DNA sequence: CTCAATTTGTTCGTATGTATG
DNA sequence: ACATACATACGAACAAATTGA
């Protein structure tokens, strides 16, 4: 016995990595760190990566566990191992993976003006979650759900509440275009304020299904609230993005 | 050439959740979804949560697996089960967990002006990563690493490059105060532009250690670049936050 | 060419964790 | 609660290929 095994009883000794035991299989944890090193070009194509022995020590795991991680990368075609020589990077990971999240209204609207969302059957949803600062609710809302795709791959799962009286003005458009884009063009909608909150989250069962990612994998959850001059909330959009697509650029002090 | 043992798992019966198989133990996946529902007050304290049968169906796992998840929550003191009655929420998860990430210079500086970071021994670091849009590099940089804590708990791990000629003007201050705060007060530093990029990432071994989170758990990675009127980069800060602390508020259209 | 060092490949035994039925 | 199957993980020993002295 005596050695540091994988123990479920969290009361047990600190295990590998000296970090909190996440109980994600170790070989997967190691694999994703290695994968990221390749993605970040810390190891470029053609480079020999660290030896099994070095990795064993760095991650404090058994040799077989490192091998398991490397076999995984090999099956992804990222590396190739040669007995007696080492393990070499053969391919790099896709890099243009960013979804730009908007920080002002125009850059929010412009890119999605002509998007065609895939509308999902709308389950009834009791009431939109409103927070203190959001404003006062409209008398009634319509609830829509949709998936946005890019190159056939889903990159956003949207749950949207639209004030019923605005929805009525262009109900057909709302089912074929992105709600915010439609909203921004409705004359009767005097948009006076729009704010967005972004948090790092984890995919729940719905998001995982619709985005084709695994349950609990990191996501960015954006919540966009649009209101009129009286503070009445016209639109609430909750949009979930896969975490590895999201990028936010913020000008803190703009260049002259 | 060994047989691919991993395939055995996907050969297993119904692929739960119909999502990509993340190979995180199912009962843990279920547990975190339930934990989040409690955190989000979807199930408030005192509420009876869904029955085992409902959860079995929702997640498409065996009854014992649901039980395992619920036992975990029970051991965390979040719920309590009663035979014949159901499972009830007994405690909610800490709620004021947000780190406000700044979207303008003043709100970036103000809260950290008086912070005392814990400076780490600075390993040498060859060159700061500069991207196209950042500007031109200064002749030389000083590299610092530090941990920011709040209530004894680390919430940020910072790697910072400061232009050497500025560092020299207040070297002592830089080791006891947050670099950006010092920088903003140095007279010689004519800050003309500051921008920040935030992406959702995953904790590498360093970040995991310093933040006390598990390897590969979600993080927010902020990269802040400050430059002067000639486009010379005075400061590059790479800051890693645990994902569940980060919140970004963005005014898209400001209220009058 | 041989030898030693390095590095990956393979196997055994053991223990524990996960999930089903 | 139990039996079964499989997955994860460790440590250790040994085998095979490669490299350079």
Q: Residue A29, exposed/middle/buried by CB under 10 A (0-12, 13-18, 19+)?
A: buried
User: CA A231, C1' C3: Å apart?
Assistant: 84
Chain D bases having any atom below 7 Å from a protein CB: 1-2, 6-13, 15-19
Q: Which CATH number fits domain B99-247: 3.40.1410.10, 3.30.1280.10, 3.30.360.10, 3.90.1300.10?
A: 3.40.1410.10
- The span from the CA of B4 to the CA of B9, in Å, is 10
Closest CA to A157 of A214, A245, A242, A240: A240
Closest chain A C-alpha to B173 CA, distance in angstroms: 23
Higher per-residue confidence, A85 vs A110: A85
Q: Band the pLDDT of B216: cuts 50, 70, 90.
A: confident
Q: What pLDDT was estimated at residue A19?
A: 45
pLDDT digits (tens, 9 = 90+) for B129-141: 888 788 999 999 9
Closest nucleotide (CA of B1 to C1')?
C9
Q: Contact B199/A32, CB-based, under 8 Å?
A: no
Residue nearest to nucleotide C6 (CA to C1'): A84
Instruction: Residues by CB within 7 A of strand D: list them.
Output: A 3-6, 16, 25-28, 60-65, 68, 82-85; B 5-9, 11-12, 23, 64
Where in chain B is CATH 1.10.10.10? 2-89
Where in chain A is CATH 3.40.1410.10? 99-247
SS in 3 state form for A189-203?
CCEEEEEEEEEEEEC
Q: What pLDDT was estimated at residue A7?
A: 34
Model pTM score = 0.81
Closest chain A C-alpha to B115 CA, distance in angstroms: 20
Chain C bases having any atom below 7 Å from a protein CB: 5-12, 15-21
Q: Band the pLDDT of B235: cuts 50, 70, 90.
A: very high
pLDDT digits (tens, 9 = 90+) for A162-209: 999 999 999 999 988 999 999 988 887 789 999 998 999 888 888 888
- The span from the CA of B110 to the CA of B91, in Å, is 34
- What is the topology classification, in CATH, of domain A2-89? Arc Repressor Mutant, subunit A (1.10.10)
Structure tokens at A40: 């970040």
- The span from the CA of A202 to the CA of A215, in Å, is 7
Q: What pLDDT was estimated at residue B256?
A: 59
Q: Is the CB of A90 under 7 A from strand C?
A: no
Q: Contact A193/B103, CB-based, under 8 Å?
A: no
Residues of chain A contacting B238 with CB distance shorter than 8 Å: none
pLDDT digits (tens, 9 = 90+) for A26-69: 999 899 899 988 988 889 999 999 999 999 999 999 999 999 99
pLDDT digits (tens, 9 = 90+) for B173-208: 998 899 999 998 887 778 999 999 899 988 888 898
* DSSP per-residue string spanning B198-218: EEEEE--HHHHHHHT--TT-E
CA angle B231, B232, B233 (to 5 degrees): 110
């Amino acid at each position: 016995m005596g050695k540091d095994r994988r123990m479920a009883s969290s009361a047990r000794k600190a295990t590998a990595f000296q970090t909190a035991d996440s109980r994600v299989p170790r070989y997967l944890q190691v694999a994703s760190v290695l994968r990221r090193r390749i993605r970040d070009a810390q190891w470029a194509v053609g480079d020999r990566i660290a030896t099994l022995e070095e990795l064993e020590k760095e991650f404090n795991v058994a040799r077989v566990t490192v091998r398991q991680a490397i076999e995984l990368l090999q099956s992804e075609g990222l590396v190739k191992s040669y007995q007696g020589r080492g393990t070499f990077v053969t391919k790099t990971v896709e890099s243009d993976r960013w979804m730009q999240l908007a920080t002002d209204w125009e850059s929010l609207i412009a890119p999605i003006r002509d998007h065609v969302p895939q509308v999902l059957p709308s389950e009834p949803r009791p009431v939109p979650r409103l927070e203190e600062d959001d404003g006062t609710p409209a008398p009634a809302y319509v609830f829509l759900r949709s998936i946005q795709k890019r190159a056939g791959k889903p990159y956003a799962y949207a749950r949207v509440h639209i004030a019923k009286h605005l929805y009525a003005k262009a109900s057909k458009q709302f089912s074929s275009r992105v709600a915010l884009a439609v909203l921004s063009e409705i004359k009767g909608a005097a948009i006076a304020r729009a704010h967005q909150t972004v948090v790092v989250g984890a995919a729940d069962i719905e998001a995982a299904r619709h985005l084709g990612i695994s349950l609990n994998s990191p996501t960015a959850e954006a919540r966009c609230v649009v209101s009129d001059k009286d503070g009445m909330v016209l639109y609430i959009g909750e949009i979930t993005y896969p975490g590895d697509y999201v990028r936010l650029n913020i000008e803190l002090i703009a260049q002259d």
